[in-house]
Amino acid sequence: MSDLNSDLNNNVDHTEIDKFSQIAAHWWDPEGQFKPLHAINPLRLSYIEEHSQGLFDKKVLDVGCGGGILAEALAGRGARVTGIDMADASLEIARLHSLESGVSVDYRCVSAEQLATEQAGQYDVVTCMEMLEHVPDPESIIRSCAQLVKPGGKVFFSTLNRNVKSYLMGIVAAEYLLQWVPKGTHQYQRFIKPSELIRSADRADLVTRSATGLHFDPFNQQFVLSQRNLDVNYILHCEKL
C-alpha cells in the first residue's frame, strides 16, 4: 500500500513546493507577492460561477489551492469546498485564514491522483487554476480532475499559453519588469498551448465548452476577461461526458 501511495503522490516538483512554501506567509497580502492572484480572483470566481449555473450547495474541489484565495471565494458563494495542495506551509496559512474569516473550507494535503482513488465522481465542480504549469505531468492532473467530477459536472483549468508573447508577458514583464510575481515563478517550457490542453481534456473524457483569455488592461490598470484571444493567460471550461 505504501508503494501505491508513493506512486500516486509522485507527480510533485519539490523545487516548486519549496518555492511556494518559502513565501507562504504572503498568500493573503493583497499588495504582496500574490497580488496578481488577488486581482484576478473576482474574474475567475465569476467565470466559474456563471458556467456552473451557480455554486450554492454544490460540492466543489479546488486542486492546487495554495493559501485558499479561490477556495474561500467559492465557499463564500455557498459551495461546500475542499481544497487540496501538496505544500503544507500554504495549507497552514489557508487554515488559519479560514478560522479568521469564518469561511469554512476543508483543506487536505493530498495529491489529486490520491484523492481520485478515494472520491471518484463525488464533485459537482472541480477547479485547477494556475497549477498545471507547476507539475511534471499535467496530464495526470487533468485525468484525476476528470475522475473526481460527477458525470455532467464542470471542470475549470487555467494556465499560460506557450508562445513568444506569453514568454514576454508571463516571465519577462511579470517577473522582471513589473515584479508582479517572484523571479523564477514560471518555467516557459511548462507553459501549455490551448490546443494541447483541449486534447488532454478530450483524452480524459472531458468536453471543452468554452475558453476565455485573461488580459491586463494598462489603461484602466485592471485585469479583464476576453474571448478575443488566449495568447497569454487563459481559462478552459470543460464538462464530464
169 annotated as ligand-binding:
no
162 annotated as ligand-binding:
no
Residue 1: the pLDDT is 46
pLDDT band at 3 (very low <50, low <70, confident <90, very high): low
Residue 218 confidence (pLDDT) above 90: no
Q: Taking residues 50-78, what's their average pLDDT?
A: 98
Residue 228 confidence (pLDDT) above 90: no
85 annotated as ligand-binding:
yes
**With the C-alpha atoms ordered 156, 158, 162, 165, is the resulting torsion angle positive or negative?**
positive
Angle at CA 171, nearest 5°, toward 165 and 174? 100
190 annotated as ligand-binding:
no
> 74-102, pLDDT tens digit by residue?
999 999 999 999 999 999 999 999 999 99
Residue 123: the pLDDT is 98
Question: Above pLDDT 90, what percent of the chain?
Answer: 85
- Type of residue numbered 226: S
Residue 2 confidence (pLDDT) above 80: no
pLDDT band at 7 (very low <50, low <70, confident <90, very high): low
pLDDT band at 125 (very low <50, low <70, confident <90, very high): very high
Task: List 160's β-bridge partners, or say none.
Answer: 233
Residue at grid coordinates 493559501? 67
Q: What integer best gives the mean pLDDT of the chain?
A: 94
Residue 166: the pLDDT is 95
pLDDT band at 6 (very low <50, low <70, confident <90, very high): low
Question: Above pLDDT 70, what percent of the chain?
Answer: 97
> 136-157, pLDDT tens digit by residue?
999 999 999 999 999 999 999 9
Residue 178: the pLDDT is 84
**Pick the residue with more confidence: 179 or 72?**
72
